[in-house]
């Protein structure tokens, strides 16, 4: 990590307060500059002859160094929102700004880690992480030094010469995180990054991500289906409703930091969980139309009842 070009993060101890005051914590967040702003952001897609509105006039302000989780029922537009912020998809109406500048396409200032492992299969771990710095014009030696720094941070130095197919799912996601962070992005966009991992690996990855976030200067936008994960990680949870995708509620997660996995057992966590559950489950009637009419499966094998 190039500390000279990266503004210094707030030291970890500033967030480690035994007498955590949630109101003060959030007031401090809201005093920070807005890093991402959606103004009446609208996304429509053509389905046959009709036009479907997926995101409907979304207004949202995310502040520097916030950890935002986005939740909502399947099909409500979470990935559509991520892709627009990533600059992968154009949007139909409204505005989306990073540091006051409109998003016009992908940029290394917005790192991406999505669920499908997006590593180059023909490149080693080190070459995957070097890719961004090399694209920015760094020499081989400098890109290699940067890549090594990040490979060490994610604890995969012994694997730097391995190829993605030789790694576990958790390792691949760590490489994907390093590959995004080596570019020193302002925003890290994560769309269900741990969705394919087993519960134990997922918990370790959550802890690792929280550690990273508390020690570097980065804003994280994290899409998840898992409500426990959202409450564990987020400063604020943006709950979307479907049909069309709109913000139903923004919840401040007023649990002290740093959070250990045991926080899940506390009454405060359980109360938040109940609130988030109610929000999302109240939306069963707002599901993606594609899910409303699931076909019955025809029998495809001959099954005999006779022995």
Ligand X SMILES: Nc1ncnc2c1ncn2[C@@H]1O[C@H](COP(=O)(O)OP(=O)(O)OP(=O)(O)O)[C@@H](O)[C@H]1O
How many helices (H) and strands (E) are present in the chain, helices listed first? 9, 10
What lies within 8 Å, CB to CB, of 294 at 6+ separation is: none
**Which does residue 74 touch among Mg ion, ligand X, none (CB within 5 to 8 A, set by kind)?**
ligand X
Site string for ligand X, 48-67 (x = CB under 6 A): ------x-------------
Q: How far is the CB of 281 from ligand X (least distance, A)?
A: 15
Among 56, 80, 124, 206, binds ligand X (CB under 6 A): 80
186 in Cβ contact with 7 (< 8 Å): no
76 binds ligand X per the rule CB under 6 A: yes
* 186 contact, one of Mg ion, ligand X, none, CB 5-8 Å limit per kind: none
What gap in Å lies between CA 81 and CA 39, rounded to an integer? 13
79 binds ligand X (CB under 6 A): yes
Q: Which is nearer to ligand X, 77 or 185 (CB)?
A: 77
Beta-carbon neighbour count of residue 143 at 10 Å? Answer: 22
> Site mask, ligand X, residues 184-213, x = CB under 6 A?
------------------------------
Residue 170 contact, options Mg ion, ligand X, none, Cβ 5-8 Å cut-off depending on partner type: none
> Looking only at residues 67 through 96 of this chain, which bind Mg ion when binding is defined by CB under 5 A?
78-79
Q: Could you give the CA distance from residue 22 to residue 19 in angstroms, rounded to a whole number?
A: 9
Residue 290 binds ligand X (CB under 6 A): yes
The set of residues, in sequence order, having a beta carbon less than 8 Å from that of 9 and lying 6+ positions away, is: 65, 214, 215, 216, 217, 218
Residue 116 DSSP one-character state = S
Output 78 or 236, the one with its CB closest to ligand X. Answer: 78
Euclidean distance between CA atoms 121 and 194, whole angstroms: 19
Cis amide leading into 258 (omega within 30) = yes
Q: Which of 22, 45, 152, 168 binds ligand X (CB under 6 A)?
A: 45
- Residue 55 CB, nearest approach to ligand X (Å): 8
């Amino acid at each position: 990590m190039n500390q000279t070009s990266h503004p210094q993060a707030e030291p970890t101890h500033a967030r480690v307060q035994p007498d955590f005051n949630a109101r003060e914590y959030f007031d401090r967040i809201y005093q920070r500059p807005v890093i991402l702003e959606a103004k009446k952001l609208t996304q429509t897609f053509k389905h046959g002859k009709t036009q479907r509105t997926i995101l409907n006039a979304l207004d949202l302000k995310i502040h520097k160094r916030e950890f935002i989780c986005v939740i909502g029922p399947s099909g409500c537009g979470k990935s559509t929102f991520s892709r627009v912020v990533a600059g992968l998809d154009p949007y139909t109406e409204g505005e989306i700004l990073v540091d006051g500048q409109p998003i016009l396409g992908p940029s290394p200032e917005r790192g991406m880690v999505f669920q499908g492992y997006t590593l180059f299969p023909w490149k080693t771990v080190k070459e995957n992480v070097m890719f961004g710095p090399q694209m920015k014009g760094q020499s081989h030696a400098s890109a290699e030094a940067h890549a090594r720094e990040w490979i060490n941070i994610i604890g995969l130095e012994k694997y730097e010469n391995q190829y993605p197919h030789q790694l576990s799912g958790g390792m691949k996601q760590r490489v994907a995180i390093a590959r995004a962070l080596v570019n020193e992005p302002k925003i890290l966009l994560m769309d269900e990054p741990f969705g394919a991992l087993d519960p134990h690996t997922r918990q370790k990855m959550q802890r690792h991500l929280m550690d990273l976030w508390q020690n570097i200067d980065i804003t994280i936008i994290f899409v998840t289906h898992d409500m426990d994960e959202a409450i564990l990680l987020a400063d604020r949870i943006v709950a979307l409703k479907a049909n069309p995708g709109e913000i139903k509620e923004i919840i401040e997660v007023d649990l002290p930091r740093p959070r250990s996995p045991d926080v899940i057992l506390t009454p405060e966590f359980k109360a938040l969980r109940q609130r988030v559950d109610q929000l999302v489950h109240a939306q069963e009637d707002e599901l993606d139309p594609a899910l409303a009419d699931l076909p019955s499966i025809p029998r495809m094998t001959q099954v005999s009842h006779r022995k």
